[in-house]
Amino acid sequence: MTSMTTAKPAQTQIERQAARDRTTTAVSPPVDVYETDTGYVILADMPGVRADGLEVIAERDELTIRGRVDRQEEAAPNYREFELSNYYRAFTLTQDLETNDVSATLRDGVLRVEIPKSARLRPKKIQVHAE
Amino acid sequence: MFEPWQEMRRLQRDLEQVFSRVPSARWPLTGEYPPLNVTRTEQSISVEALCPGMDRSTLDVTVVGDAVSIRGERNPPADVPAERFHRRERPFGKFTRTVSVGDVLDPDRTRATYADGILRIQLMRAPEAAPKRIAIQS
């Protein structure tokens, strides 16, 4: 036991942020992830979130989505089956994706994120020349 | 009877407990879809249903007597073959849910809006069911 600093690798910024998020009341939204010829699509159920409360960040090999629920209830419900919380979820991205070109749209509480594949991975039809 | 919504949610709960490091969404234990909140005031009764991504044309709200019925449908992404999915956690299908609020309602004064994945229904009591303050005679 010569050094305290070598005991544990330093946390990355993302890990620290994730740890902070876990201590608040963020829930993990259910997602669908599917592949198309040109990229990947993530659909996440985040009811109660408006566009200005949404944050989608692609950083190195991680994509994080955060949704802040910002609404005032007129009165406490007399009967309650759901309680809205903030949302948080992180995804690991492979290196073959164009993280600079991610697009996100929100409609009726469903977030849609499109992540294009690098051009070299898109299917390319090869012209065959007869000799 | 096979209940696809209930089954999907049970699976999702189980999966989240096993794999997720963040707390899972607080689904109701009633197994009904969609989860509802009911708020009663002297003037009206408000019902909120958590149902993101519904096909708007399928959403239907009916008021009969003291009961309100909600119907809707959510379809999976079109033209995506099953083998293209890496994760499938979101439930799809048709739902119907009916709740009795205990007071006779006025269907003509019912208002419903759908925004941010939440269906809000403002119900008004029928005139004969509205609360009346009784004057106490000395």
Q: Collapse the DSSP code of B10 into the 3-class scheme (helix H, G, I; strand E, B; otherwise coil) and give the result.
A: helix
Distance (Å) from the C-alpha of residue A97 to the closest C-alpha of chain B? 16
What confidence score (pLDDT) does residue A11 get? Answer: 58
Residues in chain A: 131
pLDDT tens profile B34-69: 999 999 998 899 999 999 999 999 999 999 999 999
Q: Collapse the DSSP code of B9 into the 3-class scheme (helix H, G, I; strand E, B; otherwise coil) and give the result.
A: helix
Q: What ipTM did this prediction achieve?
A: 0.73
The terminus-to-terminus CA distance of chain B in angstroms comes to 60
pLDDT tens profile B84-106: 999 988 988 888 999 999 999 99
Q: Collapse the DSSP code of A66 into the 3-class scheme (helix H, G, I; strand E, B; otherwise coil) and give the result.
A: strand
Contact status, residue B117 vs residue B51, Cβ threshold 8 Å: yes
Which of the residue ranges A7-21, A33-47, B2-16, B110-124 would you say has the lowest mean pLDDT?
Answer: A7-21
Grade residue B1 by pLDDT with cuts at 50, 70 and 90: low
Tokens of A46: 């985040």
Q: Which residue has the tokens 């008004």?
A: B124
Residue of B nearest to A48 (CA): B116
Q: What angle do CA B1, A45, B52 make, to 5 degrees?
A: 70
Distance of alpha carbon B19 from alpha carbon A98, whole angstroms: 27
What confidence score (pLDDT) does residue A4 get? Answer: 40
Q: What pTM was computed for the model?
A: 0.74
Chain B positions touching chain A (beta carbons under 8 Å): 12, 16, 20-28, 30, 32, 35-41, 46, 48, 50-54, 56, 76-77, 80, 84-91, 114-118
* Out of B28, B88, B115, closest to residue A82 by CB: B28
Task: Flag whether residue A30 sits within 8 Å of chain B, measured between CB atoms.
Answer: yes
Residues paired with residue A117 on neighbouring β-strands, in sequence order: A97
% chain B with pLDDT above 90: 53
Task: Flag whether residue A41 sits within 8 Å of chain B, measured between CB atoms.
Answer: yes
Contact status, residue B59 vs residue A23, Cβ threshold 8 Å: no
Distance of alpha carbon A6 from alpha carbon A35, whole angstroms: 41
Q: Which residues of chain A have pLDDT under 70?
A: 1-24
Q: Which residue has the higher pLDDT, A5 or B125?
A: B125
Closest CA to B44 of B123, B112, B101: B123
What confidence score (pLDDT) does residue B15 get? Answer: 56
Contact status, residue B97 vs residue B38, Cβ threshold 8 Å: no
Q: How far is CA A73 from CA A50, A78, A110, B38, B96, in A?
A: 16, 12, 21, 11, 25
Could A81 and B116 be called an inter-chain contact, meaning their C-beta atoms sit closer than 8 Å?
Answer: no
Q: Alpha carbon A29 to chain centroid distance?
A: 10
